[in-house]
Structure 1
Amino acid sequence: MRADTELESQIAHWRGYIQRHRAIAAADVDEMEDHLREQIADLSRSGLADDEAFLVAVKRMGNVDAISREFAREHSDRLWKQLVLASENTADGPAQPSRELLVVLALGLSAGIAVRVGFALLGDELSFGRNAAFLVFPFPAAYFAWKRRLRWWHWALLMVPAAVLAVAVNTYPFGEDFSTNPDTEVLAALHTPIVLWLLVGVAYVGGRWRSHSRRMDFIRFTGEFVVYLTLLMLGGGALMMLTAGAFDAIGVDLEDFVSMWALPILVPLAVLVAAWLVEAKQNVIENIAPVLTRVFTPLTIIMLLALLVAFSAAGSVIGVDRNLLIMMDLILILVLGLLLYAISARDPLAPPAAFDWLQLVLVFSALAVDALMLIAMLMRIAEFGYSPNKVAALGMNLVLLVNLVWSAWLVLGFVRQRRPFGDVERWQTRYIPIYGVWAAFVVLALPPLFGFV
């Protein structure tokens, strides 16, 4: 059983590396993986052990020899180097057709125009906030559907739940006869993008959402996408500020143009370009991901421990400021993202190291913060009663608590060398739909439960 798990981890790691490489079209990866598995099965029947069969099968994959050699150089401590680098001097894979960039730019500009038109037609900020994600979502979904060559039933899998959400948030009587800014409307606007992003994930994985390796690819993609999008937004923001400053120096005010045209169009365009950059895979991020996780993990641990001290010094958990609870919720979400990104960036075949113990400290620190948050929320609910915001926050913390508890157990087992790292990966990939289910509950069920207030 353990041998099967290790083999699956090896195949998942190989497949993730191949799929993320710009020289291999995404549509070809399935066929390549099937061929690899057939080779392994044949070699296993010939008497080779699983790990030997895997290495020999990779060597026989002639159409990916160049990438295999690159992979071997990155993992030179393994037999990959001896088995794959025997035939030296690689040739670079074919470049992606330039039409893909044209498709991305066309979709990005279309998304920007959709957002600008939606902003003009919807009028008030809350109506636009409820629908902003729907205006952008079809375009990255269309990009991956085109790139992965999705079939019509996969399109239905994407569009039907998105349409249900769109109808719900636009027909619910938010705030009627109650208030102009109901909590449930704001919660729906905040949780809708989570559901839609997971639907984009269905397109990204080519409709094969049940595949563990595909879901891990999507986690990895999401982390890298956030890095690229942040860099694009920072760079674009700095460029706009410099441009606006230069025009202001000559007496031309660009404030209206930036707020009414530049931002609504360029931000959705940046979303598509960031997705394309991750797909194009210029290999820089392969080195950035481990560096980012190693820099921010210890810093995050220090922050969590400091928050625990501050939280303890606050006295009664009932009197804890509401804004502190909100900020700590956001910090927990950030910690979860960092944990997922670290898991996706890690070599699943490498033995436990010092950084894995640091990850364990991160998980336990987050678990302690989450437990204190839950105690504070339950006591506030007992003291002041229920509200939509409290229920949404309580549910989110319970979802995070389950993930963190089992993650701590699995990481502890790994660092003690009692279970493979693949167990940690599979737990995270299997848990992804839970976030979508909870977000959908907040959007669809919470507003009617609280009378749309």
Structure 2
Amino acid sequence: MSENASLDEHTGLEHQIDQWRTWLLRRRAITPDDAAELEDNLRGRVADLRAGGLDDDEAFLVAVRRMGNLDDVSREFAREHSERLWKQLVLVPGTTSDADRRWRDLGVLIGLAVGAGIAVKALLALDDETFGLNVAFAVLPFLAAYFAWSRRLPGRVVGALVGLATAVAVVVNLYPFVTDAGGDVGMTYVLTATHLPVLLWLLLGVAYTGGPWRDHARRMDFVRFTGELVIYFALIALGGGLLTGLLFATFEVVDIDIEPFVGDWLMPFAVPGAFFVAAWLVEAKKSVVENMAPVLTRVFTPLTVVLLVAAFVALLTGGPLTAVDRNLLILMDAILLLVLALLLYSISARDPLAPAGAFDWLQLVLVGVAFAVDVVALTAMVTRIADAGWTANKAAALGLNLVLLVHLVGTGWLLARFLRARGTFDALERWQTRYLPVYAAWAAVVVLVFPPVFAYA
């Protein structure tokens, strides 16, 4: 073997070990010291296997298999360090300094949540149009401030994020959106209000990753964080809704109307507060024992396949494509976005070193059906545009479907290569994180370019 070939092979081995270490460190029960110990063990096994005549790739795969599944490894460490794991599960770190920092972080988060509540309360005192356009600015910058503080974000990154967010806020609030005679807002306002949170959320991702947004592993961590945040927030919202219902029932018995208090004071602080608490729980409770992602994705993926098939049938049997109901096309976009969110969450939760299995094939079916639905929806949109002309809503829908189509094609191609053992899961994973900025770019176009292009109507 030539020197260059040997160097390339060694580089490939180091990349695989680095990927294995990154995945291992996601297990909350395993500290960096534990990971270093396991890595030494792995390197020793690889060296022994290489000495036995295996090449780097073969030695690495055999060594990993002999060490066992990473979840099993994590559970073994959990059993050996049960006291440490218990403290992690109840959100109490193992050292005094860590505990002080955790409570300090919580105090800062509560302060920022109160600030977000005050901002929402102030917006409610203004007109509905101003509230709808700025509610994201009232909440997300406070969460970004928490991540900037907890991750010691560099000043230049903080300045860039503040500058971008401020510029967007100024521009959209200066836009002279048109309202009709009845006071209803136009479509460009609706598109701006719905796409603005997407743009701000992806800016939030820069703060979450600590600045190096180009780092693949940190982008995937942000994807994972987003999925877990939705789950925790939904659970908190369900519990909060139940308590609010009981509160109404209790005061109704004594003939006290608490609706003004709930609407004017409780909800403006409770909803942002629940959002911030959910974010803190995701950060604090990355449990190795209670990882919800694999379970949820396996439950909802087959259900989503059935939903997509039903949607596909509805599109094909809905008559000529020019007659397809506009609301049905909007619903199709919502379903496709759900599919992409589910795929991202599922990919973020999967062990990249595990061999292909039946669930991976099911995901390929999901991507294939989603592609078919997207193609039919795109055809219907193009037909409607050719028949009735352009509008802001049609242009936004068409652009979104094209963005989704490229994402689905890339995902399906890389997933098929992985299933046929012609590609790696790492390539599929990197495609997801590299494509995220495309959604941010499209959201920015809709927010900043569409209003003036379509005369703010």
TM-score category, normalised to shorter length: 0.7 to 0.9
Counterpart position of 1:119: 124
Query: What is the identity, as a one-letter code, of the residue corresponding to 2:176?
Result: P
Give % identity. Answer: 48
TM-score (norm 2): 0.84
Moved more, 247-256 or 183-192: 247-256
> Which residue in the other structure is 1:312 paired with?
316
The one of 118, 131, 134 equivalent to 2:134 is 131
Q: Which residue is 1:269 aligned to?
A: 273
SS at match of 1:98: helix
Q: Secondary structure at the match of 2:291?
A: helix
Q: How far did 1:53 drift? A: 8.2
Kindly provide the CA deviation profile for residues 247-274 of structure 1, in whole angstroms up to 9, marking residues without a partner as x: 1122112222222211111111111111
Q: Which moved more, 1:48-57 or 1:386-395?
A: 48-57
* Structure-2 residue corresponding to 1:64: none
Instruction: Return the offset for 1:425.
Output: 0.4
Q: Which residue of structure 2 aligns with residue 104 of structure 1?
A: 109
Partner of 2:144: 141
Tell me which residue corresponds to 1:375.
379
Is it true that 1:295 corresponds to 2:302 in the alignment?
Answer: no
Q: Is 1:385 the counterpart of 2:389 in the alignment?
A: yes
Partner of 1:157: 160
Residue 186 of structure 1 corresponds to which residue in structure 2?
A: 190
Contact (CA 8 Å) 1:374, 1:394: kept in 2 or not? yes
8 Å Cα contact 2:23/2:351 also seen in 1: no
Q: Is 1:377–1:390's contact at 8 Å kept on the other side of the alignment? A: yes
1:157, distance to aligned residue in structure 2 (A) = 2.3
Instruction: Report if aligned partners of 1:360, 1:408 keep a CA contact under 8 Å in 2.
Output: yes
What one-letter code is carried by the residue in structure 1 that aligns with 2:152?
R
Write the letter of the residue equivalent to 2:103: S
SS in 2 for 1:149: coil
Q: TM-score, normalised by structure 1?
A: 0.85
Q: Over the residues paired in the alignment, what is the CA RMSD in angstroms?
A: 3.3
C-alpha change, 1:230 and 1:6, in structure 2 (3 Å) is farther
Does the C-alpha gap of structure 1 residues 73 and 424 become closer, same or farther in structure 2, counting only changes over 3 Å? closer
Q: Structure 1's 172 and 349: CA in aligned 2 closer, same or farther, altered over 3 A? A: same
Matched, 1:15 2:18: no
Q: CA deviation at 1:313?
A: 1.0
Cα–Cα, structure 1 residues 198 and 451, in superposed 2: closer, same or farther, change >3 Å? same
Specify which of 345, 364, 369 is matched with residue 368 of structure 2. Answer: 364
Write the distance in 2 (CA, Å) between the matches of 1:398 and 1:141.
Answer: 30
Corresponding residue for 2:199? 195
**Aligned equivalent of 1:166:** 169
Deviations 1:172-196 (A, max 9, x none): 1111788741111111111110111
Secondary structure of 2:166's match? helix
Secondary structure of the 1:190 match is helix
Q: Which residue of 2 aligns with 1:65?
A: none
Counterpart AA for 1:107: L
- Quick one: structure 1 residues 268 and 306, their matched pair in 2 at CA, closer, same or farther if it must change by over 3 Å? same
How far 1:133 sits from its partner (Å)? 0.4
Question: The residue matched to 1:253 in structure 2 has which SS?
Answer: coil
Q: What is the alpha-carbon distance in structure 1 between the residues aligned to residue 296 and residue 130 of structure 2?
A: 37
- Contact map agreement 1:145 1:203 (CA 8 A) in 2: yes
Q: Distance in 2 between matches of 1:54 and 1:153?
A: 42
Deviation at residue 160 of structure 1 after TM alignment: 1.5
- Tell me, yes or no, if the aligned pair for 2:116 and 2:139 is still in contact at 8 Å: yes
Structure 2 contact 27–286 (Cα < 8 Å) conserved: no
What's the offset of the Cα at 1:73?
A: 6.6
Question: How many corresponding residue pairs?
Answer: 425
Partner of 2:5: none
Match among 51, 72, 75 for residue 75 of structure 1: 72
Distance 1:228 1:177, change over 3 A: closer
Q: How do 1:236-247 residues align onto structure 2 when only pairs under 5 Å count?
A: 236-247=240-251
* Whole-angstrom CA distance in 2 between matches of 1:237 and 1:383: 46
**Distance in 2 of aligned mates of 1:261 and 1:219:** 32
Quote how far apart the aligned CAs of 1:168 are: 1.0
For 2:114 and 2:362, locate their aligned partners in 1 and report how far apart those are by CA, in whole Å.
43
Aligned-residue offset at 1:11: 2.8
